[in-house]
Amino acid sequence: MARLLMLFAGLSAILWSGAVGWMLAVGTDNQVMFVVCITLAAISMTIANVAYWPVYVIFAIPVSLSAAFGLAISGRPGHAVLAGAGLALAVSMSAISRRLGNQITRAFSLATANQALVDSLGERGRELEQACDALERVSRTDPLTGLANRRSRDMRLADEWTRAMRSGGSLAVVAIDVDRFKRFNDTHGHDEGDRALQAVAAMLEQGIRVPIDLAARQGGEEFMLILPGVDLAGAASIAERVRVMVAKCSADPAYALPEKITISLGVAAMEPALGRSMHELTIAADAALYQAKLGGRNRYELGTIRPVASAA
């Protein structure tokens, strides 16, 4: 492309130089004035090519030199001064155009570099935002099971309690513990124990309404379900469903656990209100879980919550 531009500029310079030099050498004063105006206009218009200064120089310098030569041999009054002015114009245009072209090229390079820097900073900003989002998810997720961790559970429970206080409705939780997990770990090793916990986590997620409900690992072999808008009967139904799913997953080839695992569950529900605390809800669920353990495991029990004392 650059070679084509230079070729076109050179051919144009040959035609213009011949015409301008001849007209300035033999033309009348009026013709000379007209040609000078046209020539200056043409040179001024080609200033657009100064960013690539060789193209500008290839056209403007020969035309200026031809004009100076035509004036020098014209013999009209002041021809020497005019020829000198044309020669000076050619020299100055050569020097100025090169300097200006280099400055324009440098400015373009700087603008390109600045844009690349802006784009890079924008990309780094997006990467940083993604990293922060990933870090936030990691801080709320249990690394072994992929469920919400205890911190996330506490935040979600507080949010759902506040929401139920504002809009009404029931809030249920299900406390869960893997039966005889220490014996399972001691018998089959920690790797199999981890796989068992992952299987339980998968069953819990399949048994709830994601993302309305939340399944969380509280630590060790302990889990909890948070069930917004669910009453005690509904929570008991969900608890029984996940209990059966866990009991059956040992035989699933996808998990291939070395022996059957079961869970015990404690179910509690209440309608948040003034004078109530969400800790009453979790305490009732834990107490019900304890009763399920005492009752033989692999079962659920319903928790009881004391009524709010009425004002006298």
Please indicate whether residue 299 or residue 7 has the higher confidence score (pLDDT). 299
Considering only 27-41, 121-135, 182-196, which range has the smallest mean pLDDT? 27-41
- pLDDT one-digit tens code per residue, 197-246: 999 999 999 999 988 999 999 999 999 999 999 999 999 999 999 999 99
Cα–Cα dist 188/190, whole Å: 7
Structure token digits, residue 193: 């124990």
311: confidence class by pLDDT, cuts 50, 70, 90: very low
Q: What is the mean pLDDT of residues 34-50?
A: 60
**Structural contact between residues 213 and 226, judged by C-beta atoms closer than 8 angstroms:** yes
Q: What is the mean pLDDT of residues 87-98?
A: 64
Beta bridge partners of 143: none
CATH numeric code, 150-302: 3.30.70.270
Q: Which of 39-48, 102-111, 163-172 has the highest mean pLDDT?
A: 163-172
Cα–Cα dist 199/213, whole Å: 19
- Percent of the chain residues topping a pLDDT of 70: 62
Marked catalytic residue, from 221, 271, 280, 301: 221
Cα–Cα dist 273/239, whole Å: 25
Beta strands in 220-262 (DSSP E): 222-228
Beta bridge partners of 174: 225, 267
41: confidence class by pLDDT, cuts 50, 70, 90: low
Q: Where are the alpha helices (DSSP H) in 168-277?
A: 181-188, 190-207, 232-249
Please indicate whether residue 64 or residue 157 has the higher confidence score (pLDDT). 157
Considering only 78-87, 156-165, 244-253, which range has the smallest mean pLDDT? 78-87
The reported pLDDT for the residue numbered 312 is 40
Assessment of whether the complete model's pTM goes beyond 0.85: no
Q: Write down the domain spans for the chain.
A: 2-112, 150-302
The reported pLDDT for the residue numbered 204 is 96
Give the Cα-Cα-Cα angle 18, 29, 40 (nearest 5 degrees). 50
Please confirm, yes or no, whether 221 is among the known catalytic residues.
yes
Q: Where are the alpha helices (DSSP H) in 49-189?
A: 53-74, 79-139, 150-167, 181-188
Q: What is the mean pLDDT of residues 61-86?
A: 64
Q: What is the mean pLDDT of residues 283-300?
A: 96
